[in-house]
Amino acid sequence: MKAFLIDRYGKQNGMLGEVPDPAVGVHDVLIQVHATSVNPLDSKIRTGEFKLILPYTFPLVLGNDLAGVVVRTGSAVTRFNPGDEVYARPPEDRIGTFAELIAVNENALALKPSNLDMAEAASVPLAALTAWQALVETAQLKKGQKVLIHAGSGGVGTFAIQLAKHLGAFVATTTSTANVEWVKALGADVVIDYKKHDFASELHDFDLVLNSQGKDVLMKSVEVLKPGGQLISLSGPPTAAFAQAQGLSWMLRQVMRLLSSGIRRKARKHGVNYAFLFMRASGVQLQKISSLIEAGVIKPVIDRSFPFESTAEALRYVEQGRSKGKVIITLQ
């Protein structure tokens, strides 16, 4: 089958090539991929940023989102059948959606929302699951609470704004001048144009900050939280608690303890909690997201679509950091 793969870590590595069809385990579902989407995570994996956490082997097929059709199922699969239209974020140790076929454990799969086409559905899993696990699972966001979502026009941000509003929260977000009115239309109550204003000077007494930006934004985010508030970061630094949950070695736990010491120290000083979130695959949660999509509560936002042959170009486009919503790759 055709796939977009890397044979070593590096910023510009990656090529279309032929690889064997995936093996299908007893709990696996073999899927013909109709569409996939590009996430910042794909670039971070390509450059080796997560090689200590995720020790992949080469050649490695990239890709963390899919929508497609079930081709066949393993002998122990009970919830899916050939012909089903499905979508998923595969488990982190078995990525590879930039390919014509992929085998995914059934526990990571959900039926595609009936009101989305394949391209729209492919934009959902990783970003929506990240928003869900941050706001619902980790923060347990409640009606009336105040949340700041950084980068509101990005893939995760567009889903997080809509989900937070559905949960009854007051939502602030940051974005560039060109996107201010656009993210307001998604539901944001307050929009901070980071090119003109300092969010830390404008916002106070928030219950939650969802961060996906760099160190400077992360450190300043502590200042907008009230005592007892939560700072959840998608961009790091990871903590020793995360390393332990991942089953990483004692040495890596100490490394991550050191890496996160600065932000944890500042969080403690302000009486707030810091957590690093690395989302995981979950078909159960994805099915709940499907229900919200089918009810019209959440709508995917797509910036651009690229053909499979232009996967390298799609990656470069996302790496520029200016996309509004998700970038799609179509295979069918």
Residues 38 and 80 in one domain: yes
Specify the pLDDT at position 264.
96
Residue 286 lies inside a defined structural domain of this protein: no
Please give the Cα distance from 161 to 301 (Å, whole number).
12
Predicted pLDDT at 8: 95
234 and 168 in a common domain = yes
Residue 81: inside a domain, yes or no? yes
**Can you give the pTM of this predicted structure?**
0.96
- For the residues of 56-99, what is the DSSP string, one character each? --SSEE----EEEEEEEE-TT--S--TT-EEEE---GGG---SB
Q: Are residues 253 and 304 in the same domain?
A: no
Where residue 100 falls among pLDDT bands split at 50, 70, 90? very high
66's CB contacts (< 8 A; 6+ apart) are 31, 33, 35, 36, 87, 88, 89, 90, 97, 102, 104, 122, 125
Does the pLDDT of residue 23 top 90, yes or no? Answer: yes
The 10s digit of each residue's pLDDT in 173-211 is: 999 999 999 999 999 999 999 999 999 999 999 999 999
In a shared domain, residues 145 and 111: no
Same domain (yes/no): 154, 180? yes
Domain that holds residue 136: 127-276
165 has pLDDT over 90: yes
Task: List the one residue out of 249, 148, 156 whose CA is nearest residue 201.
Answer: 148
| Residues of the chain above pLDDT 70, percent | 100
Give yes or no: residues 113 and 159 share one domain.
no
**Helix or strand or coil: residue 121?**
helix
Please enumerate in sequence order all residues whose Cβ is within 8 A of that of 332, keeping only pairs 6 or more positions apart, or say none.
Answer: 32, 33, 34, 35, 68, 118
198 lies in a domain?
Answer: yes
> Is 287 within the bounds of a domain?
no
For residues 150 and 257, membership in a common domain is answered with: yes
Please report whether residue 216 resides in a domain: yes
310 lies in the same domain as 209: no
Q: Are the C-beta atoms of residues 154 and 297 closer than 8 Å to each other?
A: no
How many Å apart are CA 88 and CA 110, to the nearest integer?
6
- What tens digit of pLDDT does each residue of 263-279 get? 999 999 999 999 999 99
The pLDDT score that the predictor gives to residue 323 is: 87
Asked if 29 and 90 count as a contact pair (C-beta separation under 8 A), the reply is no
pLDDT at residue 295, as a whole number:
98
Least Cα distance to 319 among 38, 37, 6 occurs for 38
Residue 295 resides in a domain: no
Q: Number of folded domains in the chain? A: 2
113 and 136, same domain (yes or no): no
The overall average pLDDT reported for the chain is 96
The reply to whether 284 falls in a domain is no
* 308 and 236, same domain (yes or no): no
Q: Give the pLDDT confidence score for residue 236 in this predicted structure.
A: 85
Kindly report the CATH number assigned to the domain that includes residue 48. Answer: 3.90.180.10
With beta carbons less than 8 A apart as the criterion, state whether 17 and 3 touch: yes
Determine, yes or no, domain membership for 96: yes
Is residue 110 domain-shared with residue 190, that is, in the same domain? no
For residues 204 and 243, membership in a common domain is answered with yes
Q: What is the pLDDT of residue 50?
A: 87
CATH code of the domain covering residue 258: 3.40.50.720
